[in-house]
Structure 1
Amino acid sequence: HLSDDEGWRVQIPGLPELTDVGARRCHDLSETRCLLPQLGSGPDNQSGGGYLTRADYIDLVRYAQAHFIEVIPEFDMPAHARAAVVSMEARYRKLMAAGQPQAANEYRLLDPQDQSNTLSVQFYDRRTYLNPCVPGSQRFVAKLVSEVAAMHREAGQPLQTWHFGGDEAKNILLGGGFQDLKGTDPGKGKVDLAKQDKPWGRSPACQALVSSGQIKSVDDLPLRFARQASGIVAGQGIATMGAWQDGVHGAAGASDFATAHTLVTEWDTLYWGAAQSASDLANKGFKTVLAMPDYLYFDFPYELNPREHGYYWASRDTDSYKVFSFAPDNLAQNAEVMPDRQGKPFAVTSAAAPARFAGMQGQAWSEIVRTDAEFEQRVYPRMLALAERAWHKAAWERPYQAGETYQLGVTHLVDKAALNADWQQFAAVLGWREAPKLEKAGVRYRLPMPAVQPGSGPYAVATEWPGARLQYSTDGRSWQTYQPGRQVQANYWRGVSQDGSRVGRAETVSGQ
């Protein structure tokens, strides 16, 4: 994921502004020299700045090729493109000042007359979307694909898949959850929805396409641009274009696109209908990759605890067991094992025809991650559970059967005893074998928290995995190692790595 609103992360020959401006943060309100600081990162590029040089990227791809890994670059567009848009505006101003108007407009990504009043999901204005109606946008895509494909050829791994992005090209205020200021209930509504626009709603360049009959409305623009991008990708000899499910919304099927294959990353939650939508996409010929946020987004907290960092819009707690319990080939089954984000049961019926999915994918969005250590804690050990489910179908995963309904606490179709026995075996391997290997490799995985029964004590304490080490304290300052099976009277508990070099956060026993 090499571009987003908050930064551009790889050097592109001929477009130095992408990294000179889009990969840096400073206090420059004109955003000619840099992007403004995002999400409290500060202006000094110590958190949130930087990029891969062309040589860095080639080395990375070459290393991946030597380890049998395919690199799939993603450059998100037309939304989540603020870093690119701002960078190309800086380029425009520089070249106009130099008296080169043709060059200035070559890769400009905005319609300068667009006055659309929009707010993106990340709370940015209209500059978060590149404008698909101006010629600079297609030239930009062509330049980008050409340069990245050349890097892959030089690295010895010809580019097979280009991920277009395509997600969240919308005005969040026009979606669910926002009520009109002029609504019937005087106690609700703070937004005048009549003054809100869809992306590109007031762009003269886009309105010209509507007037000429090339599109019915601006709603058609994201899919139209995705099709145009697929033509550019196919023209470079790349067999597959990928997109998030939003990017193909409205398409009849994979044949709508110019590439031989179209890969779609499905990111609905199961309680929002992911089982149905994923099956629909697969049965329309898309190579569908499962990326359900309630199971596979690793920027969410491991546990429901106010001291546990992470977003919570799709899941308030996603521990390794939850990832391990995911049944990818029978998505409805998961509704019998885990609740929704509010801890409430929901029902899913296997209504669609059986579908074959291309794979599954874990995400670790880094916009609120400050350090490498924090990133590794988000990813490990959940990634090991993801790998287990991606590579091995367990006996407790039920065969898909249309018409079956699953709901936690209501149906009893899943062999949960077999699931838990399988987890115990996996957890033992994780605790006794894989965790020490991760430590030896310098990977700072998340240390499991102790499970302490509330009450007055003394306590016999459990851990998430066998072999995990714990420490306890009576004063929160001096710590002793817990010996499994012992009962201890102590107020403070924390996890510790097997080599003793790292400790987890300390928690106090409830009621102490």
Structure 2
Amino acid sequence: MESTYHFVEKVIDEIAKLHQAAGQPFTRYHIGADETAGAWKQSPQCLAFIAQNDKGVKSVDELGAYFIERISTMLAAKGIEVAGWSDGMSHVRPENMPAKVQSNIWDVIAYKGYEHANRQVNYGWDVVLSNPEVLYFDFPYEADPKEHGYYWAGRATNSHKVFSFMPDNLAANAEQWTDIQNQPFEADDRIKLDEAGKKISGPIEKGKSFRGLQGQLWSESVRSDDTAEYMIFPRLLMLAERAWHQAAWEVPYQYQGALYNQSSGAFTLAMRDAQAKDWQQLANTLGHKEFIKLDKAGIDYRVPTVGAEIRDGKLFANIAYPGLKLEYRSLNGQWQTYQAGQAVIAPIEIRALAADSIRKGRSLIVN
């Protein structure tokens, strides 16, 4: 319906006026294009549009592409770059799109998400990695029913996983991660052809690279500011680390393509050791220095749970961020400061404190 495009253009023009009045350039507009399933396919209007066949649309399967292409071209004519989510953008015909396009990749790496990312960066688009199993902050930190969050793409996304991300070589993450069922997976970054010999996927072309990373917090199940801050921090700090610093331990990208799994060996023992040392340095920096800054700023970051066990009647515990204080107690008893090797009688309850010792983390029972 032509009225649809008139409406969209009117909205864009009014938004442009608001930007002009505010003195803020209007350079990019994100159209969404997320989960474009095709509910319109039996619409009488759409079927008549195809039958008319004066816009080059030959089937209902091309309707979504036509809509996105036309809106994108409209935006480009106004000097505005179009952006959208990778699934909707994957339906378009690249030759019908403007030269300048941004696509947010939300495909799961373990389920060939790297193929969409590679294909769209090879179009020359600005590809922003937004992969859910590592960059969706509405996922729980740990696989525990008491942790807030969804888990459709990954059962848990703790701060270490975000830190360990190798964004410049998506497929190489198969060497260090598992899929949602906690099973090893294989990522084949090499050229693949269909039966007719047409290329269907392959590596990134030399000279092309991803534009950046984006963290997401989908907030429909977030009911308060402190819950939002809990889900965002400290994972946001790890996102910044990976977005702004390429670590020496990251597996270099192989432009000829490569196959990665948990025995392929590209992520060497030396690289893994360097990653562990980098993590320890960062974890100590957070625990001894940065968390107190967040406390002073009034940010309710997640205080981690404690790892603990009782051996020969003595309590031993550790924490992801050294420097944070630990407390323990007999059930319903008084909280006491933890000391390694303290004699206890099981069961006991243990927890960590925020850097300012005011907020408390979630406690665990140790038998």
User: What TM-score do you get using the length of structure 1 for normalisation?
Assistant: 0.64
Contact 1:336 1:409 in 2 (8 A): yes
Deviation of 1:503 after TM superposition, in Å, equals: 1.4
| 3-state SS, counterpart of residue 151 of structure 2 | coil
Closer/same/farther in 2, CA of residues 488 and 350 from structure 1, 3 Å limit: farther
- Name the % identity: 41
Q: 2:103 aligns with which of 264, 280, 284?
A: 264
Tell me which amino acid in the other structure corresponds to 1:463.
I
Contact 2:142 2:158 in 1 (8 A): yes
Query: CA separation in 2, counterparts of 1:454 and 1:224?
Result: 64
Deviation of 1:242 after TM superposition, in Å, equals: 0.4
Query: CA separation in 1, counterparts of 2:141 and 2:284?
Result: 19
Query: CA separation in 2, counterparts of 1:154 and 1:456?
Result: 71
Deviation of 1:218 after TM superposition, in Å, equals: 2.5
RMSD, aligned α-carbons: 1.9
1:302-321 residue pairs with structure 2 within 5 A? 302-321=141-160
Runs of 4+ in 1 over 6 A off after TM superposition: none
- Does 1:487 pair with 2:342? yes
Tell me which amino acid in the other structure corresponds to 1:487.
Q
Q: 1:398 aligns with which of 242, 248, 251?
A: 251
| 3-state SS, counterpart of residue 350 of structure 2 | strand
1:81-480 residue pairs with structure 2 within 5 A? 134-170=1-37, 198-213=38-53, 214=55, 215-238=57-80, 240-253=81-94, 255-258=95-98, 260-351=99-190, 352-354=203-205, 355-401=208-254, 402-409=256-263, 411=265, 413-414=267-268, 415-453=271-309, 457-476=313-332, 478-480=334-336
Contact 1:268 1:292 in 2 (8 A): yes
Query: CA separation in 2, counterparts of 1:487 and 1:358?
Result: 51
| 3-state SS, counterpart of residue 353 of structure 1 | coil
Deviation of 1:293 after TM superposition, in Å, equals: 0.7
| 3-state SS, counterpart of residue 316 of structure 2 | coil
Tell me which amino acid in the other structure corresponds to 2:316.
A
Tell me which amino acid in the other structure corresponds to 1:207.
L
Name which of structure 1's ranges 469-478 and 335-344 shifts more when overlaid on structure 2.
Answer: 469-478
Residues 386-414 of structure 1: per-residue CA shift (max 9 Å, x gap): 11011001110121113432222553633
Deviation of 1:507 after TM superposition, in Å, equals: 1.6
Closer/same/farther in 2, CA of residues 443 and 206 from structure 1, 3 Å limit: same
Closer/same/farther in 2, CA of residues 363 and 219 from structure 1, 3 Å limit: same
Structure 1 gaps, min length 5: 1-133, 171-197
Contact 1:166 1:222 in 2 (8 A): no
Contact 2:66 2:92 in 1 (8 A): no
Residues 467-507 of structure 1: per-residue CA shift (max 9 Å, x gap): 12222121246322324x34352611122212222112222
Structure 2 gaps, min length 5: 191-202
User: What TM-score do you get using the length of structure 2 for normalisation?
Assistant: 0.89
Residues 301-342 of structure 1: per-residue CA shift (max 9 Å, x gap): 101112111111100011011000101111122111111111
* Higher RCO (C-alpha under 8 Å, 6+ residues apart): 2
Deviation of 1:143 after TM superposition, in Å, equals: 2.5
| 3-state SS, counterpart of residue 472 of structure 1 | strand
| 3-state SS, counterpart of residue 460 of structure 1 | strand
